[in-house]
């Protein structure tokens, strides 16, 4: 996820949005879904650091949420908002026009979106000294959030918990996954941690600044949605905070850490027996599949030679279709998905295949 600071004209649909939603001052928003249960809140993760999370309980006509996994989604950036991008542009129940999303992951998992690091999305800091400076701080902040979350929502303590991520979120997911594993071992967090999935990840960064102008238009539209109807719905966002208002500062504070590779952390995860999935969009020019394969080859994991020898297996998002939509390779606790015709944001480009991959990773297929 990349920060876009440019202003662009307001898209026409947004001007119509208040009309479509029947909004005027004080009006009740008529949300267009048959809604499942959702809850959201802030957690004070450090002095002056407030992290926002938003949970949707799985909505599946045959299964109770307790029989389905819990997926935490982490956006990239650093500074990209999960509650905004991941939720409304990729896997949440509604798209950014507030229309139901056919391929929402909610049909197969409960979803936890966290605006992380602090300062991202609706998360905020009070004073410039409180931004996270490196991966260690990002992970320790998240441990405070997860500890609070799992002790307030005991119903999720036994549910398999997976961390899915995109772009720089992958680097955070690896670091967070390792800290979570240790916290569970120490008994400080009660959680059924089942694995991490690193999408289009900056595990070992390839320098490319070309994404600067990607998708800025949608971003502006999303910002108006988040700072308009969504903020009204949530009610708890402080008046002096706006969605994305501190994103640039999050990025600047993490900049130095940004280029440090975390291959050794992935090695530690594999060594600890945690399931690690790597996935990449074939058309991703920012983090290309070749680059992903290159850092995977640098792992010191003893099983790597066996993993590397495997042949790619074709996957079909539609069982009746003859068109391959992905390739997978998997050995013991490492799996690699290569999603065809998808760019940097896999679920928004290949919704069906992304949903199928999530089901495979979470052992539902």
Q: Which stretches of the chain bind ligand NAG, using CB under 6 A? A: 64, 66, 126-127, 155, 160, 194-195, 275, 330, 333, 363
Nearer to ligand NAG, 24 or 64 (CB): 64
Q: Which is nearer to ligand NAG, 160 or 261 (CB)?
A: 160
Q: State which residue, 64 or 309, has the beta carbon closest to ligand NAG.
A: 64
The DSSP secondary structure of 173-226, one letter per residue, reads: HHHHHHHHHHHHHHTSS--EEEEEEEES--SS-----GGGGTTHHHHHHHHHHI
Give 49's strand partners.
Answer: 46, 125
Q: Phi and psi (nearest 5°) for 76?
A: -90, -145
Q: Closest distance between ligand NAG and the C-beta of residue 361, in Å?
A: 7
Are the C-beta atoms of 109 and 36 separated by less than 8 Å?
no
CB of 159 to ligand NAG, least distance (A): 9
Q: Which residues are catalytic?
A: 167, 284, 344
In this structure, are residues 93 and 83 in contact, taking their beta carbons and an 8 Å threshold? no
Alpha carbon distance 326, 41 (integer Å): 37
- Cβ of residue 316: shortest distance to ligand NAG, in angstroms? 19
Minimum distance between the CB of residue 151 and ligand NAG, rounded to whole angstroms?
16
Structure tokens at 117: 């690091």
DSSP string, 57-104: ----SSS-GGGS-EEEEE--TTT--IIIIIIIIIISSB-TTSPBPTT-
* Cα–Cα distance measured from residue 180 to residue 185, given in angstroms and rounded to the nearest whole number: 9
Q: What is the 3-state secondary structure (H, E, C) of 274-290?
A: CCEEEEEECCCCCCCHH
Minimum distance, C-beta of residue 248 to ligand NAG, in the bound complex (Å): 20
């Amino acid at each position: 996820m990349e920060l876009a600071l440019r202003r662009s004209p307001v898209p026409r649909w947004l001007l119509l949005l208040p009309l479509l939603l029947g909004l005027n001052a004080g009006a009740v928003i008529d949300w267009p879904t048959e809604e499942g249960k959702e809850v959201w809140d802030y957690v004070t993760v450090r002095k002056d650091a407030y992290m926002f999370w938003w949970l949707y309980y799985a909505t599946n006509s045959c299964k109770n949420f307790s029989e389905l996994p819990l997926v935490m989604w982490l956006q990239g950036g650093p500074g990209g908002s999960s509650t905004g991008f991941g939720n409304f542009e990729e896997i949440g129940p509604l798209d950014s026009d507030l229309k139901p999303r056919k391929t929402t992951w909610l049909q197969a998992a409960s979803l936890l979106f966290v605006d992380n690091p602090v300062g991202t999305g609706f998360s905020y800091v009070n004073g410039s000294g409180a931004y996270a400076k490196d991966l260690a701080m990002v992970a320790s902040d998240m441990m405070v959030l997860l500890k609070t979350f799992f002790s307030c929502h005991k119903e999720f303590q036994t549910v398999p918990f997976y961390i899915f991520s995109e772009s720089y979120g992958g680097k955070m997911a690896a670091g967070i996954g390792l800290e979570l594993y240790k916290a569970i071992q120490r008994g400080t967090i009660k959680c059924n941690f089942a694995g991490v999935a690193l999408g289009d990840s900056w595990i070992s960064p390839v320098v490319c600044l070309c994404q600067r102008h990607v998708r800025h238009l949608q971003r502006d539209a999303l910002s108006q949605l988040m700072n308009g109807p969504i903020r009204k719905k949530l009610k708890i966002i402080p008046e002096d905070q706006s969605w994305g208002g501190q994103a640039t500062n999050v990025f600047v504070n993490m900049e130095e850490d940004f280029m440090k590779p975390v291959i050794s952390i992935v090695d530690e995860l594999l060594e600890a027996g945690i399931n690690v999935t790597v996935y990449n969009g074939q058309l991703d020019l920012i983090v290309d599949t070749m680059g992903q394969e290159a850092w995977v080859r640098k792992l010191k994991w003893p099983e790597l030679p066996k993993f590397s020898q495997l042949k790619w297996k074709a996957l079909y998002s539609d069982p009746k279709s003859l068109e391959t939509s992905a390739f997978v390779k998997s050995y013991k606790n490492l799996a690699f998905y290569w999603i065809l015709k998808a760019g940097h944001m896999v679920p928004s480009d290949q919704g069906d295949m992304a949903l199928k991959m999530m089901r495979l990773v979470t052992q539902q297929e």
